[in-house]
């Protein structure tokens, strides 16, 4: 007769590790101290960002305050004082003096045209260079890079005489084509680097299924590249809106001028009205603020595209 012995040790006989009273684990110390460190670092970052934002917004706040002052109030109290009496009619006066409605329509038409021309040309060029891998690819990229680094001051006189000969001088169409082609060089250089890393497996699979080059471009490449294209559209619109030298030389008629040119008439050689100039600057910056508020989601998605795999 065999007897079974219970080899399980009683619960009271198990050895349990205990820590001496008054002593804590270094790991626990680090765990307790980590939130404090992260909190201090977060407060420092928030304080630095706040100072940066306030410094960035200070000029806009000064323009906003001075836009509703009277000239006598500005001369008596300076530019940093709060208005003693709000002058709400100054924006309407500046609007009529500048003919802001016509300038606004011209700027919108030109900027939209520049965006369409620049993005379409950049898309076709980058598709041929980045995905098609044409011959002399590096030479083409160097050429487009050279167009980006050339200063406008060195091109303005040749462009002026060329527009005179072609009959495009003082016309929005010729100016839009010029700026659109110029911006397409930067777009081509940017998109070519993006398309060079495009998944070749998708293109090969589409080719095996019978898709042609146009089908691959419109059905595969374009939808996957839309975040980058949306950022380009925003940048090109803002850049063309703020152009000053080319419109100053090529658009001399009052009914052809853009918003920056229209606002420049507020400053004369011997006369200056700071409050009217502030109101004009406010009218010029409001469309850009509205534009960014409308397209901020597209801009954010485009800038963060590819950050998370």
More confident residue, 285 or 3: 285
DSSP for 220-289 reads IIHHHTHHHHHHHHHHHHHHHHT--HHHHHH--SGGG--HHHHHHTTB-SS-B-HHHHHHHHHHHHHHHH
C-alpha 114/C-alpha 108 separation (Å) is 10
Secondary structure class of 139 (helix, strand, coil):
helix
DSSP for 72-135 reads HHHHHH-SSSPPSS--TTHHHHHHHHHTHHHHHHHHHHHHHHHHHHHHHHHHHHHIIIIIS--T
What percentage of the chain exceeds 70 in pLDDT?
Answer: 82
C-alpha 182/C-alpha 178 separation (Å) is 6
What pLDDT does 106 receive? 94
Report CA dihedral (278, 284, 289, 294) to the nearest 10 degrees. 160
Q: What is the mean pLDDT of the chain?
A: 81
pLDDT of 176-217, one tens digit each? 999 999 999 999 988 988 888 888 888 888 888 888 888 888
> pTM (2 decimals)?
0.78
What pLDDT does 38 receive? 59
Residues facing 267 on adjacent strands: 272
Asked if 146 and 155 count as a contact pair (C-beta separation under 8 A), the reply is no
C-alpha 87/C-alpha 256 separation (Å) is 30
Average pLDDT estimate for 77-102: 87
What pLDDT does 117 receive? 96
pLDDT of 145-176, one tens digit each? 888 888 888 889 899 999 999 999 999 999 99
At 91, the pLDDT band (50, 70, 90 cuts) reads: confident
Please say whether the dihedral angle defined by the alpha carbons of residues 95, 97, 98 and 101, taken in this order, is positive or negative.
Answer: positive
At 1, the pLDDT band (50, 70, 90 cuts) reads: very low
Average pLDDT estimate for 214-221: 88
């Amino acid at each position: 007769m065999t007897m079974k012995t219970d080899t399980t040790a009683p619960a009271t006989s198990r050895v349990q590790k205990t820590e001496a009273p008054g002593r804590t684990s270094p790991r626990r110390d680090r765990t307790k101290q980590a939130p404090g460190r992260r909190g201090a670092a977060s407060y420092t970052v928030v304080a630095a960002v706040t100072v940066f934002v306030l410094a960035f917004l200070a000029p806009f706040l000064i323009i906003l305050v001075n836009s509703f002052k009277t000239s006598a109030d500005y001369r008596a109290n300076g530019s940093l004082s709060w208005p003693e009496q709000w002058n709400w009619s100054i924006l309407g006066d500046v609007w009529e003096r500048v003919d802001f409605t016509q300038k606004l329509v011209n700027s919108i038409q030109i900027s939209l045209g520049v965006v369409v021309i620049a993005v379409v040309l950049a898309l076709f060029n980058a598709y041929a260079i980045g995905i098609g891998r044409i011959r002399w690819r590096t030479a083409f990229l160097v050429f487009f890079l050279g167009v980006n680094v050339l200063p406008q001051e060195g091109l303005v006189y040749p462009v002026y005489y060329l527009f005179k000969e072609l009959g495009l001088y003082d016309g929005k169409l010729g100016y839009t084509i010029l700026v659109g082609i110029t911006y397409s060089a930067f777009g081509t250089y940017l998109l070519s680097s993006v398309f060079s890393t495009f998944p070749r497996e998708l293109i090969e699979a589409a080719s095996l299924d019978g898709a042609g080059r146009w089908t691959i471009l419109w059905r595969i490449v374009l939808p996957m590249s839309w975040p980058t294209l949306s950022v380009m559209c925003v940048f090109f619109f803002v850049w063309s809106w703020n152009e000053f030298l080319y419109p100053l030389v090529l658009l001399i008629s009052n009914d052809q001028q853009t918003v920056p040119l229209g606002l420049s008439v507020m400053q004369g050689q011997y006369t200056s009205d700071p409050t009217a100039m502030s109101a004009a600057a406010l009218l010029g910056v409001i469309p850009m603020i509205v534009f960014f508020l409308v397209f901020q989601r597209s801009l954010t998605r485009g800038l963060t595209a590819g950050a998370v795999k």
